[in-house]
Amino acid sequence: MINLSSIDVTNKNLVIRVDMNVPLKNGNILDATRIEACLPTIDYALKNNANILLISHLGRPTEGNFEEKFSLMPVANHLSKIIKKSCELIDTPNSDTIFNSNCQVQLLENIRFFHGEKTNSDELGYQLANLGDVYVFDAFGTAHREQASTHSAIKQSKVACAGLLLEKENNFLGKVLDNYENPYLAVIGGAKVSTKLELIKHINNVAENIIVGGGIANTFICAAGYQVGKSLIEDSMIDFAKEILNEGKILLPKKVITSDSFEGSNVKEKSIADIEDHEMILDLKIENETHTIINSAKTILWNGPMGVFENELFEDGTKTLSQAISNSSAFSIAGGGETLSAINKYINLDDVSYCSTGGGAFLEFMEGKILPSIKALNAKNTEE
């Protein structure tokens, strides 16, 4: 890829695809992490006296319709405060005011309001690609989607490059994917094996040990021949789990936290051999053996919690794991919304070597796939 840091953008008009898909409630931003992640690229452009048009999506509006609750106006207002410059919201990519106003920073209204975004329209892609001098793609969280602003616009632009965030993601995640040190430990949690199927397959080929948590752990516990009561499992994944277990890399918990309900009635700590029919597994215990493996690891990939950590009765597994990774000297990569929530709750972001901004994109990257946006950027480098 061509990187923004390697080209001259002085006094140029930059169209920057960012990911400012932040959670909102009554027009208020609940978590500005994704906006803050865009700042290095924005600051770099401003220092080079470039004009900026930002493009982002927000939520899932009906394409072609303006919906107030999905407007980027709160984002524009918040960004103005952070960068201490006015950020002008532009209603349409046809606007004559793009790069033609007193505002150095502009933000196009939610790209999903416009026909053709989700279908990777060549028409919309061409329109976006030709709004400025350089098309900068910096939205790693959307890099796995072939859409007009994440794919077609890159392909049709005169010059396209990766922003500073995408460059950073590519470098850090690539280190875990291709240039890792052993021992390699993977932590894979979440509700369903099926959503992490390709990741588990790939990681099973490279990691020495794999810690599983959540509903994924329940499925593996069941596959190992234990009763799991009313616990969430995927029957269709049992045979796959048995195959992976035979490789000897999965670390099954010896003890778990059970309850008769998600609310927390009759909560108990039990051996996995003692689960009763009316019980469900909602958390697991991090044992001394697991601590030892975490402490000796040189590389740690972490995606997903150990249990229903939103409830304090079932948070100990995720909390203990977070703290153990925090104290580890390993190069650690974390990704996924629930994982980042756990980090913010129990440790500091700086306690992990790198926290990815991607969810689905993070998973696909770590599965070894070349993401569509990155593939398009690589192709632009060949053209140049």
Q: What is the DSSP pairing of strand 105-108 with strand 331-334?
A: unpaired
Catalytic-residue membership of 229? no
Provide, for the chain, the percentages of residues in helix, strand and coil under a 3-state DSSP scheme, each rounded to the nearest 5. 40, 15, 40
Helix (H, G, I), strand (E, B) or coil at 172: helix
Catalytic-residue membership of 192? yes
Per annotation, catalytic residue among 27, 64, 174, 337: 337
Nearest to 258 by CA among 217, 296, 202: 217
Q: What is the chain's length?
A: 384
Tokens of 309: 């950590």
Rounded Cα distance, 208 and 204, in Å: 8
Catalytic-residue membership of 360? yes
User: How many CB atoms neighbour CB 246 within 10 A?
Assistant: 10
Per annotation, catalytic residue among 255, 360, 369, 375: 360
Rounded Cα distance, 263 and 34, in Å: 32
Per annotation, catalytic residue among 85, 118, 175, 192: 192
Catalytic-residue membership of 248? no
| DSSP secondary structure code for residue 3 in this structure | B
The burial of 146, by beta-carbon neighbours within 10 Å (0-12 exposed, 13-18 middle, 19 or more buried), is given as middle
What Cα–Cα distance (Å) separates residue 54 from each residue in 77, 141, 202, 260, 350? 13, 15, 35, 49, 28
Per annotation, catalytic residue among 34, 155, 285, 380: 34
Q: Give the residue numbers annotated as catalytic, written as ranges.
A: 34, 192, 337, 360
